Amino acid sequence: MFKGSLVALVTPMRADTSIDEAGMEAFIDWQISQGTQGLIPVGTTGESPTLTHEEHKRVVELTVATAAGRVPVIAGAGSNSTHEAIALARHAKQAGADGILVVTPYYNKPTQEGLFLHYSAIADAVDIPLIIYNIPGRSVVDMSVQTMARLAKHPNIVGVKDATANLTRPLHTTRDCGADFIQLSGEDHTALAFLAAGGVGCISVTANVAPRLCHEMHVAWQRGDIQAAMVIQERLLPLHDAMFCETNPGPVKYAASLLGHGSDVCRLPLAPVAESTRVQMRAAMVKAGLLN
């Protein structure tokens, strides 16, 4: 259903921070032409925390319309309000998304039982494939494998985006949730190791600027050419480092702007990236062969 190289899309913005719809359409077309196998709009990388509900919905609609069935669209539909998450999930379904990505509720720190009830309520309310997004570094809560195994029994809950960087986690998840439970890495540095531990793909930040390389790494892995995949991983490593030397999506939007894909503008409270970050990013892109 969902596998390979998927991209956590940036949301292109103009200088006044309004959404650049034409720029986003062109960016999506480029992603697909470069081999990206799935689009994830309005996640953290898409600046979902600072988009209005209307903007959030518009970005989902625009992504679905531009993709036009060429690749799956997994729309961000997370919130620390279950009621709000259900509303976003319903809209994603109506807009024609192929799935939804629902982050573990941040700030209010639910218990494991709260997490179970939250995801169950969303999955009961909307008949659409749901990917759990487990990212303790941002949401503070960490869904246990045991809770995930309970949720995996729901027919609408089909997988996880795992951003824990814990490479024992996919092994235990496969054991407890079953081999058909879709496991996608949410951490670029561990994408290849995650595949070796039972994953089937990566929802990538780096793929915003290196979609062809990310795609080729997954293709090499799938055909059993581990050495070729490792060579690409080594080539991408400085780029991964640069992507996360400041808060995402500041660095990746700057990197995309160097390739002519939109501006480097992020909405406050994210500040423009530091000059040292710009220098590191440029050097990483040159090393990866993305800039001369």
Residue 164 within a domain: yes
Residue 292 binned pLDDT confidence (cut-offs 50, 70, 90) = confident
Residue 239 within a domain: no
Q: What is the pLDDT of residues 280-290, one digit of tens each?
A: 999 999 999 99
Q: What is the pLDDT of residues 50-107, one digit of tens each?
A: 999 999 999 999 999 999 999 999 999 999 999 999 999 999 999 999 999 999 999 9
- pTM for the structure as a whole: 0.97
Q: Which residue range(s) make up the domain with 203?
A: 4-224
What is the C-alpha separation between 13 and 257, in angstroms, rounded?
11
177 pLDDT higher than 90:
yes
Q: What is the pLDDT of residues 22-34, one digit of tens each?
A: 999 999 999 999 9
Stretch 27-43: mean pLDDT, rounded?
98
CB-CB contact of 133 with 101 (8 Å): yes
In percent, the amount of the chain with pLDDT more than 90 equals 99
What is the distance, to the nearest Å, from the Cα of residue 231 to the centroid of all Cα atoms in its chain?
Answer: 23
Domain count, the chain: 1
Helix (H) or strand (E) holding 103: strand 99-103
1 pLDDT higher than 90:
no
Residue 131 within a domain: yes
Give me the active site residues, please: 133, 161
Residue 253 within a domain: no
Residue 156 within a domain: yes
Residue 261 within a domain: no
Residue 271 within a domain: no
Residue 179 sits in a domain whose CATH number is 3.20.20.70
Residue 270 within a domain: no
